[in-house]
Structure 1
Amino acid sequence: MTQTGRDTGRVGPEHARAQAELRIFGEDLPTHILSQKVVDCGPGHRLFLAVPRGEAPQAGWPVIYLLDGNAAFDFLTPEHLALVPGLMLVGVGYDIDRQFARERRTLDFTAPDGPGDGIRPDPVHPGRMAGGAAQFLDRLTGPLRAAAEAGLPIDPTRRTLWGHSFGGLFTLYALLTQPDSFARFASISPSIWWDEPLIRRVAEQAGPMADAPPLLVALGNKEKRSGSSGPPPDGPAPATLKFVADLQEGTGLSPDLHVLPGLIHIQTIAGSLPLALPFAAA
């Protein structure tokens, strides 16, 4: 994979600089066939596909879209796939060698604010831009989805969106602004701390939601502080717990909330998969 853009990966927390080893592509998997493809749209995306072996059901396979696909497939194991032999997985990543494209995901996964396209300087990370979630959602449900599902029997009524951290924040944004974009949503350790008033305004604008889609929320009990500085995390993130409670009251959503014991922020990627994959396959 080639590196693109200004996201050099020289600073930031250790996991933000990690290379994507993608060891699962060297495994002999009895349940799925793995492949990758580059899609020339936006900043340049790489899709990681795990397609079930055997014949699809008459309606097609259910599919889960995993944001930060480079990292998601780095944490994916044969044991995870064995849980859901009839589920297709699509990792939506960037054409880079690392697990995370920090500058790109900050722009793509954060909600717009203000007039025009809503893109603005990131109020938390100097030098980054934010607010491109509307454009990314169009890209995700348009050319990226088309490229991922081309030639494959997919059940369009059984698509799930999964995101972790900023991806979890985007998953909430997608649910609140375009609830019909996916049938189910899995928000893992969402970065509610990043401009919390903004995501709360998005929730308020959504208002009561008729026929609200299923929502899975999971976070670790060792990530009280979700940012990258401060004392060691202790307990689940209180801002996330409060937001989920308020979301249920204000929108009519019924989040299925899980606090994962002993897990810090980065560990909830793998820790959530035994919950999220069967959730998507249901």
Structure 2
Amino acid sequence: MDMKTPASRICQQLIYVISFCLLCVSHIGIAQQNSTPLVDSLFSKVLNEHRNYRVILPIDYDTNSGKKHDVIYVLDGETVVNVVSPIHRIASDWGEVPRCIIVGVDNKFVDGVVMRNRDLLPTHVSSSPLSGGANNYLKFIKEELMPHIDKKYATSKRNTLFGHSHGGTFTIYSMLSEPNLFNAYIATDPSLWWDGGYVTKKLKESLPNKPNLNVKLFVSGRKGYPYKNMGIETMDAVLKTNAPKNLKWESVAYENETHISVLLKTVYDGLKFVY
């Protein structure tokens, strides 16, 4: 501290800091109070099992108003929704993004074993015996979950898919496999190293055949070696060369973040990019 700084100025600075902290705390408190998820389930004929999901409605949600809301579908719903929801709420309170319905797609556990690799990874490799069921999972989301949500809630039919790690891999794979299913895709630190860079190879092969691909894609990673090691650097090169003109994309490498903490910045920046 500069000892020559007038005491009145110091007090003023402290007031600014305290006021800002109180503002953040108040918004976080409101977000928590109004973000209690509605936990539900449906039986999937595609997967032949019950699947849990959770819905967080906007604070202004009113079925009698006639207002429709965009939907953000969040993979790994039972955990990642707890990050997406409060940040979305603050961003929407501040007018940065619209108030959306958030749908967390929970993972399935069978006899205590999580089916995450089965559902999120597009190819089977021997080191992961459950892997390779992404096509079925995408079919479940497309043919069962999304129509179910559209029927039950006042949706605008404008949808975003949000995924982290393997969920990020699934997110990019979904864009290539079902390009008209979502309007925007947000992939956080995606595991693009999977199966020798399978998804990036598919990206390179398929983009030239999708000249009318008109969606938004936001990809985040961690600056330095992790950005390369996760395969995001290679994906960047493919997009720079092959992205069709209507594909609006951005890739960001954040400094001083972990595989988990990178979620925090990605939610805010990703949603702002989408909107």
TM over 0.5: yes
Q: CA RMSD in A?
A: 2.8
Aligned-partner residue type, residue 108 of structure 1? D
Q: Unpaired runs of 5+ in structure 1?
A: 1-23, 113-119, 226-234
Task: Indicate yes or no: 2:87 matched with 1:92.
Answer: no
Determine the structure 2 residue equivalent to 1:107.
Answer: 118
Contact 1:248 1:254 in 2 (8 A): no
Aligned-partner residue type, residue 188 of structure 2? I
- Displacement after TM superposition at 1:262 (Å): 1.2
- CA distance change for structure 1 residues 168 and 140 in 2, over 3 Å: closer, same or farther? same
Count how many residue pairs are aligned between Structure 1 and Structure 2: 231
| Structure with larger RCO (C-alpha < 8 A, sep 6+) | 1
The structure 2 residue matched to 1:36, chosen from 39, 52, 65, is: 39
- Mapped partners of 2:237, 2:190: distance in 1: 14
- Displacement after TM superposition at 1:59 (Å): 6.4
Determine the structure 1 residue equivalent to 2:54.
Answer: 48
Tell me the SS of whatever aligns to 1:192.
Answer: coil
Aligned-partner residue type, residue 180 of structure 2? D
- Mapped partners of 1:102, 1:258: distance in 2: 33
Tell me the SS of whatever aligns to 2:115.
Answer: helix
Contact 2:109 2:115 in 1 (8 A): no
Task: Indicate yes or no: 2:218 matched with 1:216.
Answer: yes
Aligned-partner residue type, residue 184 of structure 2? R
Aligned-partner residue type, residue 91 of structure 1? G
- CA distance change for structure 1 residues 237 and 130 in 2, over 3 Å: closer, same or farther? same
- Displacement after TM superposition at 1:104 (Å): 1.4
Task: Show structure 1 runs of 4+ deviating over 4 A.
Answer: 55-59
Aligned-partner residue type, residue 151 of structure 1? K
- Mapped partners of 2:196, 2:57: distance in 1: 37
% of aligned pairs identical?
Answer: 21
- Displacement after TM superposition at 1:49 (Å): 0.9
1:160-179 equivalent positions in 2, closer than 5 A: 160-179=160-179
Determine the structure 1 residue equivalent to 2:13.
Answer: none
Aligned-partner residue type, residue 183 of structure 1? N
The structure 2 residue matched to 1:75, chosen from 78, 83, 92, is: 83
1:233-252 equivalent positions in 2, closer than 5 A: 237=229, 239-252=231-244
- Displacement after TM superposition at 1:181 (Å): 0.9
1:154-193 equivalent positions in 2, closer than 5 A: 154-156=155-157, 158-193=158-193
Contact 2:204 2:238 in 1 (8 A): no
Aligned-partner residue type, residue 258 of structure 1? V
Contact 1:38 1:95 in 2 (8 A): no
- Displacement after TM superposition at 1:188 (Å): 1.1
With structure 2 as the length reference, what TM-score do the two structures score? Answer: 0.73
- Mapped partners of 1:179, 1:78: distance in 2: 28
With structure 1 as the length reference, what TM-score do the two structures score? Answer: 0.72
Aligned-partner residue type, residue 271 of structure 1? K
Contact 1:189 1:268 in 2 (8 A): yes
Aligned-partner residue type, residue 219 of structure 1? G
Contact 1:206 1:251 in 2 (8 A): no
Contact 2:36 2:56 in 1 (8 A): yes
Aligned-partner residue type, residue 146 of structure 2? R
Tell me the SS of whatever aligns to 2:253.
Answer: strand
Contact 1:219 1:236 in 2 (8 A): no
Aligned-partner residue type, residue 47 of structure 1? Y
- Displacement after TM superposition at 1:33 (Å): 5.8
Aligned-partner residue type, residue 147 of structure 2? A
- Richer in helix (by share): 2
Determine the structure 2 residue equivalent to 1:20.
Answer: none
- CA distance change for structure 1 residues 162 and 78 in 2, over 3 Å: closer, same or farther? closer
Tell me the SS of whatever aligns to 2:118.
Answer: helix
